[in-house]
Amino acid sequence: MSVTANSVWKNCLAFIQDNIQPQAFKTWFEPIKPVKLSDNALSIQVPSKFFYEWLEEHYVKLLKVALTKELGENAKLVYIIKMENTYGNREPFTEQ
């Protein structure tokens, strides 16, 4: 099986789910979408800037451990923030 953003994120989620409360997992990890994987960097899309800040404040260590388990010591996590209110654009505006 080739390593993809989806497979890496799925394995990270399995590890994270074992380490936090079910409600926290549902709230903070289920809405995240893996976007791409390149050079040990996993890009994930989060619903808002607040969401990103909450993850960084409360779950950064857990995310790092999960990602390091999957991708090794040089693993990186890139957030793509889906912006709300796109003024009629079909594609949501994203910020990296």
pLDDT at 50: 94
Put the strands of the sheet holding 76-82 in their side by side order. 33-38, 41-46, 76-82, 94-95
| C-beta atoms surrounding 15 within 10 Å | 15
pLDDT at 82: 85
Average pLDDT over residues 61-73: 96
pLDDT at 83: 74
Place of tokens 């789910």: 17
Evaluate the CA torsion angle 21, 26, 37, 7 in order and state its sign.
Answer: positive
**Residue 30 CA from chain centroid, whole number:** 9
pLDDT at 3: 86
Query: Superfamily assignment of 5-95 in CATH?
Result: DnaA, N-terminal domain (3.30.300.180)
pTM to 2 decimal places: 0.83
**CA proximity to 70, closest of 9, 1, 17:** 9
